[in-house]
Structure 1
């Protein structure tokens, strides 16, 4: 069994004249990442390894989320392959993961994550919102065989604020 957790970065700020990779989170993005992390932690799911896009907003989201779940950052890596907006690079990344890992968390971007959630999961999602988390489980023993899985969990900030 393999499980991938896709988390889109938090709401970013356009208030600064910086490159796309350097764009920071807004306060709302920070707060939402905390809220999603605390909610996820209640499920008791153990993540074997976590990866983030090098973009500031994704990296910051990953640090907030991972701290909230008490994750060991020795099992964390930044990878350029997750700075992807179509989903093709991320899917290739997933299929090349080490088979010793069973559950991985990936922090990145839309439209890649909405496309992947729909291509890999069994629930249609119109849009993975900022700080949105989608957990998909696959009945395979090798990452290279990941294709269609079962969407196990959606954690979207707007559902937590009701």
Structure 2
């Protein structure tokens, strides 16, 4: 069975706050970029979103929804805040096989490391791994059941850096 995995980094957060890192909100540019990302994500029938529990990832998803993104299920979890790529893969392996398209919304360096782990080598993979800015999203085609997800089991087919 094949699946689609979207890997997205949160939109630009504000640094003009005294909030702890986990609570930092999006900057004005982040809100604009997340809405543009939502228009791109509207092209995908997302079955499940696994997102970090941080304020900036929550706001990124909510703003992407305003831009047109939809998902059957959205889960915000502390397990994705500061996670290693192997931990993210473990979460993805738990997805039900009926989920055709899943999305992970998190932080760097985990998002680019996840792509480096899962995607076959290619120029596009190298580009994404080299520079994964805020709001960036990558779309991978996965050639196996979620439970069998692992190194090299995906092919990066799209890499976008939405800007509003």
CA distance in 2, matches of 1:9, 1:70: 14
Residue 102 of structure 1 aligns with which residue? 100
CA distance in 2, matches of 1:56, 1:93: 20
- Contact (CA 8 Å) 1:88, 1:112: kept in 2 or not? no
Residue 40 of structure 2 aligns with which residue? 39
Alignment deviations for residues 95-121 of structure 1 (CA, whole Å, 9 cap, x no partner): 222222121111110100010111112
**TM-score of the pair, normalised by structure 1:** 0.87
Residue 144 of structure 1 aligns with which residue? 147
SS state at 2:46 partner:
coil
Of stretches 142-151 and 83-92 in structure 1, the one that deviates more from structure 2 is 83-92
Q: 1:1-162 counterparts in 2 under 5 A? A: 1-41=2-42, 44-71=43-70, 75-122=73-120, 123-124=125-126, 125=128, 126-140=130-144, 142-147=145-150, 148=152, 149-157=154-162
Alignment deviations for residues 8-49 of structure 1 (CA, whole Å, 9 cap, x no partner): 0011111111111100111111111111221332xx321111
Closer/same/farther in 2, CA of residues 87 and 152 from structure 1, 3 Å limit: same
- Contact (CA 8 Å) 1:13, 1:26: kept in 2 or not? yes
What are structure 1's unaligned runs of at least 5 residues?
none
Closer/same/farther in 2, CA of residues 14 and 85 from structure 1, 3 Å limit: farther
Paired residue total: 155
Closer/same/farther in 2, CA of residues 24 and 51 from structure 1, 3 Å limit: same
CA distance in 2, matches of 1:48, 1:21: 26
